[in-house]
Amino acid sequence: MRQQVDMGERFAELQVSELLDEIGGDEQPTGGGTASAIVLALAAALAANAARRSGPGWAEAGGAAAQAETLRARALLLAEADALVYGEAVALMRGNGPSRDDRDWAIKEALDRSADVPVLIAEAACDIALLAAEVAEGGNPKVGADAAVAAVLAEAVARSARHLVAVNLATVKDDERTERGERCAAIAGAAARRALRAD
């Protein structure tokens, strides 16, 4: 049995095969938000690598690499946060928790909280897509393809997170989180296109 570690470290401490087992298993519920945040951490790592490999020829390389590492750490924290709120929502929908009279309200509240994390994932994805586009445009052309892939992965995460926000808020009208998710997905898409053109 794998030992649980503190929030933000559990996914970071896993080997790739363990990570896939964690997401694909049924021991703890993990959903699309958790998987998206982990993909986002991979995109940030790839952007950091491309920035570092742009080396002394690009004055912004060090700063871009540091920013990408910060975003990578944020993405892993968001993966943990999503797993937590998603797990709470799933438990309530399975009938665990408050009495039947209070369950509908508790489920509504859990779904509302579940929309918060995907919005943050979409915003982080937007940041990574923009950063990766800068690396693709200004960094070493030899690593432009890696930077472009990082931007495209970040775009996919932003779009996925936007979808999760919409699903979780399906019964809520005019929630600003829906608009934030839409805006992030659009910006990330534009950044990915910039990165692909630069490659």
Residue 9: its pLDDT value, please?
60
pTM of the model: 0.87
Residue 121: its pLDDT value, please?
98
Q: Tokens 């998206």 appear where?
A: 36
* Residue type at position 181: G
Whole-angstrom distance, CA of residue 60 vs CA of residue 52: 10
Low-confidence spans in the chain with pLDDT less than 50 = 1-8
Residue 8: its pLDDT value, please?
47
* Whether the Cβ atoms of residue 112 and residue 175 lie closer than 8 Å to each other: no
Cβ-Cβ contacts under 8 Å for 11 (sequence gap 6 or more): 19, 22, 34, 38, 41, 76, 79, 80
- Any idea where the domains of the chain sit in the sequence? 29-198
Residue 37: its pLDDT value, please?
96
Residue 1: its pLDDT value, please?
27
Whole-angstrom distance, CA of residue 119 vs CA of residue 189: 16
CATH code linked to domain 29-198: 1.20.120.680
Please calculate the CA angle 81-49-46 and round it to the nearest 5 degrees. Answer: 45
Whole-angstrom distance, CA of residue 144 vs CA of residue 47: 10
For residue 105, report the phi and psi dihedrals to the nearest 5 degrees: -65, -45
Neighbours of 20 (CB within 10 A): 13
Neighbours of 56 (CB within 10 A): 8
Neighbours of 197 (CB within 10 A): 11
Residue 6: its pLDDT value, please?
40
Residue 7: its pLDDT value, please?
41
Distances (CA, A) of 189 to 27, 89, 98, 130, 133: 35, 30, 41, 9, 11
* Residue type at position 131: L
